[in-house]
Chain A
């Protein structure tokens, strides 16, 4: 008899737990119209930053490449010439490539970088149709000369660059242009959209 009562109680407890979730707010959001706020130090697509004077921060030292546990980074250095000075020192990265398919977004490159040149942005949407398009070379990684200098991770509270002004609430609807497009690629996207609209 006792065991029957015990069983019914246990059953009731179980259903109660299930029922609780049925009345809770759903965690599923209708992506991509609604997006979930990042963790504060979310690791997304890379970006190569510049100094205030427009020079590249990257000196081609290859420390990111050797720190990378996935072997995703290729750097080939070259010497700056007085006529074509890319970075402040003697050396710059003639080639800088990241295979984003190999990348595990661990952020060790960011940590190894002696000049804070390579950073991981919050941007994670990089779907494409060809594998080859996931090899990001300098032309896509480096912040363009006219798109600022890039944003350091610690200038980005809650994973959204501070220059956006407002911190977006957990699980809010995020404007793709304002949030995830906050990197220089977002800027490009904006102009592209404008171009399309016009």
Chain B
């Protein structure tokens, strides 16, 4: 409800109950005040009224006919009856039309059991159809895209899906094709329906027309045991329901959550669940023998070895020979136990940064998600949040729908569908912020220099009285928690760069890597990280799978994933969100917290009582009010900030932009069989004129070279949205790891193979 005081209230009567609601309220919403449920199909609180299905008929006194509650606003003195003979007869007539061609699929329909059409048909519908002719037949089980199956016969054309695609995501690909009884849902272009938010239409669909491929026939709704938890795939922290059946996760569904997710989920959060039950998961601690083979060992043995190596290292070379990296993917409680155990040993080389991101806290102007949607200027700096924090991008799209302008800054192609303008530098923002009263900055946390420029701008805007809110869309889900809870370098101790440098210099005895994969993500690059790990006496890695990094470790400990443990995380806006175990973990795995508590016990280290951890974690975020773009977070080797966005000379080489993709990564997505169709293949994206200058055509295979480092076999894509002189590649792909390349550095194009030649080569 709005906080403004000048809202005029209207008095009306609904089913004999006096109701006072703000002027302009829709009748269907006003009825919720007296807990009267008016049936709806096309109406949805987030999508607004459409007046298509007519099921919400109500009787308004003095109105000549029944009115639809979803598109009628309340007026003073209105007397409404939401049930009664007249209303029921009206709804029965509407149901007859809706069910006219609806197939009797309920027993095999994935929606059966949680279907509004079923429920209202039981409540208002006739028991038999009066239709004498055969029902119209339409295509069934249509492959609408990589995630969605469409059944046109079941569709009642409420248009929730196409309105979601138009209003909420602004992508406008789903439309209603043809008219009358021949109308079907389709994409306007005829191409497969591809969207990072496609799963939401299956939840919006009030019937079983749109269903998820990953959930198809997995279970019936009543079989699922549901757990409410928080999605930890990215730093947004959307509310999520996990449905489990016979020990396997069948699906995840969104939950009403206006403060964080706004009720939506991205496809990564929704569909990336098959890895939980993947046979490739590690389920027993594994120790590397001197010959390089892994042997399975018991948990007691594993923890003892870890503790022994830590103790020996402290005794022989001091605590400086020990380091730990991790925390960005752990729960708050786990981060605290990790930091406390390590610090009790005297270890100071602790860092959560395992990728490009340097900073996770948004500083003094840290805003809430609602601040973002009420901004009139949203500035995204660096990697677009559409790929790092997709549901945050929906908030930005909501802000744009409310009239905001969305400006992106940096060298990445903007793919948010709502970008007003694209700028190369933060300094170019001056003209845009002039008229703005509420400005939101969304930074990727990578380039501290750019962050500092944005912080300076934010400071000056705030001084002028402009409302400023800042956000950091992190690479790792709980990066903000890790930074606040002690897994960041303090008083000059080494960050992850320094830790790996010390390891390469042979100064490190024990390195613990908890839930991180620096081989794929750390900007030092795979060869440097491999060198660092090989020169360290003992490397412990807690992982779900044998990732690039885990394969090199001396001891691999099987960890539990997010739905298998309980605790809390921070979202990027600083809210503490509860994570609840909703899936039975494979036997033999342990949560990182349990391993660390066992380690602490083995080391005779006293850590805080488990009950007090949550309170400690919640208090910590208040204590770390670091500035947005604080120079202390800067990377020692960061020299690229000035060159980002400047037009490179395309004839000699191009600047490389390393983009995020929501389906990249070497862990949960890579080991998810059901997501194979969504994983991006290695691509190189060029602007049209840059491609023309370089002589690259769409579909060509290209290699990128910078000194010794190469990226081989990228498929060229040509778009109009990419900045000129820049080639964009996707970060975090195990098949083409781009982490060795610095964002913005100049790379040369080599070995361009035309699409036909590449095809022939492939055939041979």
Contact = CB atoms under 8 A, between A and B. Distances in A.
A62 B220 CA distance: 7
Nearest to A91: B108
Determine the interface band of chain A, counting residues with CB < 8 A from chain B.
10 to 19
B383 to A, nearest CB: 38
Nearest to B245: A76
Contacts of A181: none
B107 A61 contact: yes
A59 B220 contact: no
Contacts of B141: 90
Contacts of A79: 216-217
Contacts of B105: 89
B223 A60 contact: no
Interface residues on B, range: 10 to 19
Interface in B191-241: 216-220, 222-223
Contacts of A59: 107-108
A78 B217 contact: yes
A40 interface: no
A91 B217 contact: yes
A63 B107 contact: yes
A78 B217 CA distance: 5
Interface in B65-118: 105, 107-108, 112
Nearest to A114: B107
A115 B105 CA distance: 12
Contacts, number: 33
A152 interface: no
A66 interface: yes
A189 B108 CA distance: 35
A66 B222 contact: yes
Contacts of A66: 220, 222
Interface in A49-70: 59-63, 66
A77 interface: yes
A63 B107 CA distance: 7
A60 B216 CA distance: 12
Given A61-B107, A90-B141, A114-B107, A77 B222 contact: no
A90 B140 contact: yes
A168 to B, nearest CB: 37
Interface of B: 105, 107-108, 112, 140-141, 216-220, 222-223, 246
Given A76-B219, A90-B108, 13 more contacts: A59-B108, A60-B108, A61-B112, A62-B219, A62-B220, A63-B107, A66-B220, A76-B246, A77-B219, A78-B217, A79-B216, A89-B108, A91-B108
29 contacts: A59-B107, A59-B108, A60-B108, A60-B217, A61-B107, A61-B108, A61-B112, A61-B220, A62-B219, A62-B220, A62-B223, A63-B107, A66-B222, A76-B219, A76-B246, A77-B108, A77-B217, A77-B219, A79-B216, A79-B217, A89-B105, A89-B108, A90-B108, A90-B140, A90-B141, A90-B217, A91-B108, A114-B107, A115-B107
3 tightest Cβ-Cβ pairs between the two chains A and B: A61-B107, A77-B217, A91-B108
